[in-house]
């Protein structure tokens, strides 16, 4: 958290020198461009980080590392053809849609950072002795050390803030880091290149915050389905390199069915997930199923750009499907899809691909039932032997212990059996609901966004 920041060093050097833009002057046309761009705003305070990821993915980077420090958030990556500082600068001041897709994503993220959040940023390119820096008034150039990869650093503090009180500054940095991390967890787990955030892999469908692996969420199926839709690029860590931060019960986790063969082109990805949590009842801890609806996630250039809550009943088993948004119209931010005929057609195609898979799904906790029954039988048997022994000395206490032993034997495996029945009913309800969905513009199979994905 305390290591030096190239962005901070550069900003300090500008205090006494005064900053000029990269051409040594600030033109009237650029002043007017900034006035026009000031009206541009992304949804959400940290959505800029999604545009940066989209820019990196669209640029063909092989991987992306995000590092959060006490002063800034840094993005480190390599590109087959790095941007030129001049073209980044020209794109930044151009309010029109850029023909270069990666630059268009980048500039929209940087507009949000600089013009709305009022935060400095630094962009350094391999092979270039200068970096591009936004100081709060203009883009300027400054000398930087030679680099092997691209660096984009975004400051935590605005241009109006000093370094602040040390303890308060650390708390503010931690809060800013947490907000960025939350945005990445919610919408960047679909990243189609390796994505590390503070050295932890995040690029996996199993990292989906609602339907992925957690202490209360257990994927039953993770499927990749073929079909006549634009290709969905699967996050690389999905195939074994993802390690969840929190995992639940190992017996319930055995519900998972691994798909061994992938189609040549993935059209739809899907998670069918059981929702089960540990709850206290008196002195006992038991497993309880809870309900959740199903959701369609739209993915473009590595991030979730939009989502729909499907019109299915909330149940203890639900599904998430992931579909490429490639070719669908968006608003100017690129983070919300325009509804229309093409959109409706793709929803319909995705659901038709999904239905046979959901219909064939099965769920069973037989292994957990056997494990619980064995444990109950062993415990009951030990209690019964103890009851006989105790009964020879104190008959009344032996009788009580024998009653407890018989109850333990009779109820062994009952908790797992009840959970198994709940999950089977939940899956049956999901199958019925998915098969009933009939996408039309008059009876949409989804609801508009009400909350986060």
**Sorting pLDDT into bands at 50, 70 and 90, what band is 409?**
very low
Instruction: Based on the fold, state whether residues 183 and 222 are members of the same structural domain.
Output: no
As a whole-number percent, the residues of the chain with pLDDT over 70 amount to: 71
| pLDDT score of 377 more than 50 | yes
Of 129, 160, 188, at which residue does a domain stop? 188
- 219 and 351, same domain (yes or no): yes
Give the whole-angstrom CA distance, residue 185 versus residue 203: 9
Residue 349 sits in the same domain as residue 424 = no
- Furthest CA-CA distance within the chain: 102
Same domain, 139 and 229: no
Residue 413 located in a structural domain: yes
Per-residue pLDDT, averaged over 293-308, amounts to: 96
Domain-located, residue 431: yes
Residues 146 and 280 in one domain: no
Is residue 12 pLDDT above 70, yes or no? Answer: no
> Which pair of structure tokens corresponds to residue 197?
């955030």
Question: Residue 215: is it exposed, middle or buried by C-beta count within 10 angstroms (0-12/13-18/19+)?
Answer: middle
What would the pLDDT profile of 183-235 be if each residue is shown by its tens digit?
Answer: 999 999 999 999 999 999 999 999 999 999 998 888 999 999 999 999 999 99
Residue 151's pLDDT is what? 96
| Least confident among 101-105, 236-240, 371-375 | 371-375
Tokens 């993935």 locate to 266
Task: Give the C-alpha separation, 19 to 140, whole Å.
Answer: 7
Q: Domain of 429? A: 366-436
Is 345 inside a domain boundary?
Answer: yes
Higher pLDDT, residue 262 or 360: 360
Res 15: pLDDT: 42
Other Cβ atoms within 10 Å of 399 Cβ, number: 12
**What is the average pLDDT value for the chain, to the nearest integer?**
80
Average pLDDT over residues 431-451: 64
105-109, 148-152, 154-158: range with lowest mean pLDDT: 154-158
Query: In terms of domains, do 151 and 34 share one?
Result: yes
Average pLDDT over residues 94-105: 92
Q: Report the domain count for the chain.
A: 3
Domain assignment present for residue 11? The answer is: no
Find, among 311, 341, 338, 312, the residue nearest to 325 by Cα.
Answer: 338
């Amino acid at each position: 958290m305390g290591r030096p920041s190239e962005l901070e060093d550069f900003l300090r050097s500008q205090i006494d020198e005064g900053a000029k833009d990269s051409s040594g002057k600030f033109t009237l046309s650029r002043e007017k461009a900034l006035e026009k761009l000031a009206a541009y705003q992304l949804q959400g305070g940290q959505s800029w980080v999604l545009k940066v990821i989209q820019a990196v993915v669209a640029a063909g980077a092989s991987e992306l590392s995000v590092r959060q420090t006490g002063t800034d958030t840094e993005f480190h990556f390599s590109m087959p053809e790095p941007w030129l500082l001049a073209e980044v600068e020209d794109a930044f001041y151009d309010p029109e849609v850029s023909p270069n897709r990666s630059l268009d994503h980048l500039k929209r993220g940087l507009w949000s950072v600089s013009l709305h959040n009022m935060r400095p940023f630094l962009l350094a390119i391999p092979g270039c002795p200068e970096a591009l820096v936004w100081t709060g008034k203009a883009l300027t150039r400054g000398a930087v050390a030679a680099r092997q990869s691209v660096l984009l650093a975004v400051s935590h503090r605005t241009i109006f803030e000093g370094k602040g009180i040390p303890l308060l500054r650390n708390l503010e940095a931690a809060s800013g880091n947490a907000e960025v991390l939350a945005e990445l967890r919610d919408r960047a787990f679909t990243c189609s290149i390796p994505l590390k955030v503070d050295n932890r892999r995040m690029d996996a469908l199993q990292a989906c915050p609602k339907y992925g692996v957690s202490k209360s969420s257990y994927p039953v199926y993770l499927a990749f389905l073929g079909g006549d839709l634009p290709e969905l690029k699967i996050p690389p860590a999905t195939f074994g390199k993802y390690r969840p931060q929190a995992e639940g019960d190992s017996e319930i986790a055995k519900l998972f069915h691994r798909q061994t063969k992938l189609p040549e082109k993935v059209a739809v990805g899907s998670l069918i997930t059981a929702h089960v949590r540990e709850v206290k009842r008196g002195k006992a801890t038991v497993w309880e199923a809870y309900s959740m609806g199903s959701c369609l996630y739209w993915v473009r250039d590595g991030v979730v750009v939009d989502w729909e809550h499907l019109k299915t009943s909330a149940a203890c088993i639900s599904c998430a499907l992931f579909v490429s948004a490639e070719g669908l119209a968006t608003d100017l931010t690129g983070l919300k899809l325009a509804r229309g005929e093409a959109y409706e057609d793709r929803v319909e195609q995705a659901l038709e691909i999904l239905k046979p898979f959901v219909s064939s799904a099965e769920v069973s906790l037989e292994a957990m039932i056997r494990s619980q029954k064995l444990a109950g039988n062993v415990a009951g048997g030990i209690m019964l032997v103890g009851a006989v022994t105790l009964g020879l000395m104190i008959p009344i206490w032996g009788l009580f212990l024998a009653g407890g032993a018989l109850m333990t034997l009779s109820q062994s495996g009952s908790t797992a059996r009840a959970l198994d029945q709940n999950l089977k009913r939940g899956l049956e309800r999901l199958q019925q609901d998915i098969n009933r969905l009939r996408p039309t513009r008059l009876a949409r199979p989804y609801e508009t966004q009400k909350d986060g994905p």
